[in-house]
């Protein structure tokens, strides 16, 4: 399986603790594999009337024919490393506009939290 930065995969995050992502979620690939691991940004469905911080909103109708929800949220604050064996299947690739917005948000969050 060839991995490209900006691709979105369904990933099995497994069983985790507390507010960590668990189970199957889509995620954006941020780095290609090093030692069979990569950095990813988890994606969650965006519920109406709920405020989300620390990421960007995606319009699912832009990438999927029949999405289960209209919008989703790339949760930058939940960036994590995953092993290649957690990848289930390729879903789509972010366009340049959305990927640049994601990178900008990552830089913003890291800059605001640095010393």
Residue 95 within any structural domain of the chain: yes
Q: Provide the pLDDT confidence category of residue 49 given band limits of 50, 70 and 90.
A: low
Give the domain range for residue 77. 7-112
Mean pLDDT of 39-58: 83
Residue 62 within any structural domain of the chain: yes
At 34 the pLDDT is 77
Residue 1 within any structural domain of the chain: no
Q: Is the pLDDT of residue 82 over 80?
A: yes
58 and 101 in contact (C-beta within 8 Å)? no
At 110 the pLDDT is 87
Q: Average per-residue pLDDT in the chain? A: 89
pLDDT tens, position by position, 51-63: 777 889 999 999 9
Q: Provide the pLDDT confidence category of residue 115 given band limits of 50, 70 and 90.
A: low
Residue 77 within any structural domain of the chain: yes
Helix residue ranges, H only, 11-113: 96-112
The tokens for 22 are 């668990």
Instruction: Provide the CATH number for the domain around residue 104.
Output: 2.30.30.110
Residue 71 within any structural domain of the chain: yes
- Count of structural domains, the chain: 1
The structure's pTM equals 0.89
Largest CA distance in the chain: 44
């Amino acid at each position: 399986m060839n991995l490209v930065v900006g691709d979105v995969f369904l990933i099995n995050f497994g069983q985790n603790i507390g507010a960590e992502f668990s189970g199957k979620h889509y995620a954006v690939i941020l780095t290609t594999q090093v030692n069979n691991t990569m950095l990813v940004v988890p994606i969650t469905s965006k519920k109406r009337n709920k405020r989300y911080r620390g990421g960007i909103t995606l319009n699912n109708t832009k990438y999927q024919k029949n999405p289960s929800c209209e919008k989703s949220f790339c949760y930058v604050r939940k960036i994590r490393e995953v092993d290649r064996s957690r990848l289930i299947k390729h879903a789509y690739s972010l366009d340049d506009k959305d990927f640049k917005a994601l990178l900008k948000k990552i830089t913003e969050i890291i800059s605001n939290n640095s010393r």
